[in-house]
Homo-oligomer: A and B are copies of this chain.
Amino acid sequence: MAIPNLQVALDQSSLSEALKTVRKVGEEVDIIEAGTILCLAEGMQAVKCLRALYPDKIVVADTKCADAGGTVAGNASDAGADWMTVICSATIPTMKKAAEQVSELQVELYGNWTYEDAEKWLEAGISQAVYHQSRDALLAGETWGEKDLTRVKKLVEMGFRVSVTGGLEKETLQLFAGVDVFTFIAGRSITESADPKAAAREMKEEMRRIFGDAK
């Protein structure tokens, strides 16, 4: 079991705010995400700027694309994104067309989906799944539980590299001990901490502690 990646989600509503944040943590993380809020607020200009500032990091455009997969993914790729996300309720043709345009396509799991759907996503060329606790659902009181862990494990068994996200704090990571998580995506627990760089380093340290032994 490899030590998972750490991804920072930039969910600011303006490019300047996102840059103010990323300069504190960009070098500390493995993957830099232009979050959905940022993509919708600033467009692919945000991805272009992250690509320009971090040529050696993986950049993800979290578009949660639902349609016109080829065009949206082509635009993300032209802007410099390595990976892009599609929403799980997109059609298979949308996923196939998007998968052709980026190095890796990630499916974002929201709402109703089945393992039969997931088999089709793999066939459509999707290599990664992002398992979510919705930000709004978390605010409404939901949290990580056994149900989530079972689903993550099942997706890993099916062949997806799985990212987990939604309200992750350093203290939450222990829940995933023994689960082959590919990437932990953190947003505000890093970016809104008093010392974002230290927060990112502590997350990485905790990941090495939990997953390093199990290698």
Residues of A with Cβ closer than 8 Å to B?
Answer: 11, 13, 36-37, 39-46, 63-72, 75-76, 87-91, 93-94, 96-97, 108, 110-114, 117, 132, 134-137, 139-140
Contact = CB atoms under 8 A, between A and B. Distances in A.
What's the number of copies of this chain in the assembled complex?
Answer: 2
Contacts of A137: 91, 93-94
Contacts of A75: 13, 37, 40-41
A66 B140 CA distance: 16
Nearest to A96: B136
Contacts of A46: 43
A140 B143 CA distance: 39
A91 B142 CA distance: 12
Identify the 7 closest CB pairs spanning chains A and B, nearest first. A89-B111, A43-B43, A93-B136, A89-B89, A94-B136, A42-B43, A93-B140
